[in-house]
């Protein structure tokens, strides 16, 4: 059986135009690579964790030619858009009976965007446009409903980004058409482009760690009061130690507003800036990270 390969990773970038790059939708799901050899198939994630048992419906991967390795994203489509929450409910199932039931009632789709080996011939040193040509022919030949081909556009990346975000997608990937596939490496030949928003929040709790704290629980203004909106990571270095010491001076026994997590709770006295990608359907911040304290403690109405 083909040994698992680590996926190639991208760097972050702002929207841009380029006729040297292919722009694709950044699918909001779980990254997964798959291999087929001798009638056996295998599916794994970014950390080489085996996903095969979680998605029995992807046994259709056996239809790929032996000696083939593909790269893509596992998604659950709802109204033709990826639903990360629906996928996460699938992804975390462990009981075989529930997995079988879910595979029938909430089948995933495997969005294919690259091919690393075809019929035993490695393609990682081939440029992206040639790999994509092989993948396109293979996708058409298979005609498998559980597979989705990630279409792309060359040139007008900024317009493509605006359209993708307006349609509810997570963002856009920009890939240099001459790029080789670099397993396990992060390269600027692939760029991830996501919308970024900033929101003033008040810290209502935190989860501790050896070096100070692990995450913050934050709330923001809503209908004359405040409400919990998410868990924030991304604190580094001295921020962790200094902020944990400051928050320890404001401890309280219960959260100031309802919160679904366990944490050490604090009075709503410390304000911060939170960067996030978008709001979830349940009013939470998706992709939230810490971007500094607000010394003026100004309460701005940044709610939905």
Is residue 20 domain-shared with residue 154, that is, in the same domain?
Answer: yes
Tell me what the mean pLDDT of segment 132-148 comes to: 94
Radius of gyration of the CA atoms of the chain, in A: 22
For residue 55, name the pLDDT band (cuts at 50, 70, 90): very high
The mean per-residue pLDDT over the stretch 105-125 comes to: 94
Lowest mean per-residue pLDDT among 167-181, 201-215, 232-246: 232-246
Q: For position 187, what pLDDT does the model report?
A: 95
Partners of 154 in beta bridges: 22
> What confidence tens digit (pLDDT) does each residue in 246-289 have?
898 999 999 999 998 899 999 999 999 898 877 888 889 987 88
- Residues 231 and 274: their CA atoms lie apart, in Å, by 10
- Report percent pLDDT > 70 for the chain: 95
Residue 304 inside a domain? The answer is no
User: Model-level pTM?
Assistant: 0.70
Apex CA 44: angle with CA 36 and CA 58, to 5°?
55
Q: Indicate the number of domains in the chain.
A: 2
Q: Check pLDDT > 90 for residue 167.
A: no
User: Of 282, 285, 249, which Cα lies nearest the Cα of 264?
Assistant: 249
Are residues 109 and 75 both part of a single domain? yes
Q: Which of 4-8, 104-108, 233-237 has the lowest mean pLDDT?
A: 233-237
State residue 165 phi and psi, 5-degree precision: -65, -40
Mean pLDDT over 105-123 rounds to 94
Where among 193, 212, 228 does a domain terminate? 193
Let me know whether 78 and 209 are in one domain: no
Question: Do residues 150 and 34 share a domain?
Answer: yes
Based on the domain organization, do 165 and 62 belong to the same domain? Answer: yes
Determine, yes or no, domain membership for 30: yes
Residue 62 maps to a domain: yes
CATH number at residue 13: 3.30.470.30
The DSSP string of 173-196 is EEEETTPPP-TT-EEEEEEEE---
Predicted confidence at residue 221, as pLDDT, reads 86
Whether residue 148 is found in the same domain as residue 13: yes
The answer on 206 and 94 residing in a single domain is no
Q: Is residue 219 one of the residues assigned to a domain?
A: yes
To which residue do tokens 């482009």 refer?
A: 193
Give me the pLDDT at residue 3, please: 83
Q: Which of 193, 220, 246 is the last residue of a domain?
A: 193
What local confidence, expressed as pLDDT, does residue 48 receive? Answer: 92
Q: Average pLDDT, stretch 234-248?
A: 81
Looking at 164-168, 229-233, 252-256, which range is the least confident one? 164-168
Q: Does 3 reside within a domain?
A: no
pLDDT at residue number 107: 87
Choice between 140 and 104, residue whose per-residue pLDDT is larger: 140
Confidence of residue 57 (pLDDT cuts 50, 70, 90): very high
Establish if 302 belongs to a structural domain: no
Note the pLDDT of residue 41.
95
Together in a domain, 282 and 206: yes
Cβ pair 54, 90 in contact under 8 A = yes
In a domain, 301, yes or no: no
Tell whether the model's pLDDT for residue 297 goes beyond 50.
no
Better-scored residue on pLDDT, 113 or 295: 113
Mean pLDDT of the chain: 89
Query: Structural domain of residue 203, as residue ranges?
Result: 197-293
The token duo for 179 is 């790029």
- Whether residue 79 has pLDDT greater than 80: no
Angle at 185 between CA 179 and CA 186, to 5 degrees: 80
Count of alpha carbons within 13 angstroms of residue 250, beta-carbon side:
19
Any idea what the CATH number is for the domain that residue 250 is in?
2.40.50.140
pLDDT at residue number 296: 44
User: Does a structural domain hold residue 112?
Assistant: yes
Last residue of some domain: 193, 216, 243?
193
181 and 263 part of one domain: no
What is the structure's pLDDT at 67? 95
Q: Two tokens at 23?
A: 């722009």
The pLDDT value given to residue 303: 43
The phi and psi torsions of 62 (rounded to 5 degrees) equal: -60, -20
Q: How far is residue 103's CA from residue 154's CA, in Å, rounded to a whole number? A: 35
């Amino acid at each position: 059986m083909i040994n698992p390969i680590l996926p190639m990773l991208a760097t972050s970038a702002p929207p841009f135009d380029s006729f040297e790059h292919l722009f694709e939708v950044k699918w909001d799901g779980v990254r997964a690579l798959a291999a087929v050899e001798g009638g056996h198939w295998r599916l794994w994630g970014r950390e080489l964790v085996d996903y095969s048992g979680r998605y029995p419906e992807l046994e259709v991967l056996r239809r790929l030619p032996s000696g083939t390795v593909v790269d893509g994203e596992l998604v659950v489509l709802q109204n033709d858009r990826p639903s990360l929450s629906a996928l996460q409910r699938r992804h975390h199932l462990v009981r075989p009976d529930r997995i079988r039931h879910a595979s029938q009632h909430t089948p995933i789709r495997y969005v294919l965007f690259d091919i690393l080996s075809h019929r035993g011939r490695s393609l990682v040193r081939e440029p992206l446009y040639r790999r994509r040509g092989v993948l396109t022919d293979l996708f058409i030949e298979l005609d498998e409903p559980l597979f989705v081909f990630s279409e792309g556009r060359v040139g007008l990346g900024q317009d493509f980004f605006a359209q993708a975000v307006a349609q509810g997608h997570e963002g856009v990937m920009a890939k240099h058409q001459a790029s080789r596939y670099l397993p396990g490496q992060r390269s600027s030949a692939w760029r991830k482009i996501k919308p970024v928003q900033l929101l003033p929040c008040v810290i209502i709790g935190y989860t501790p760690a050896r070096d100070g704290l692990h995450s913050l629980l934050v709330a923001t203004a809503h209908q004359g009061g405040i409400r919990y909106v998410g868990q924030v990571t991304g604190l580094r270095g001295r921020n962790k130690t200094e902020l944990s010491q400051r928050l320890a001076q404001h401890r309280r026994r219960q959260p100031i507003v309802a919160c679904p997590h366990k944490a050490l709770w604090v009075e709503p006295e410390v304000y911060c800036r939170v960067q996030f990608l978008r709001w979830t359907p349940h009013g939470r911040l998706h992709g939230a990270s810490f971007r500094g304290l607000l010394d003026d403690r100004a309460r701005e109405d940044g709610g939905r």
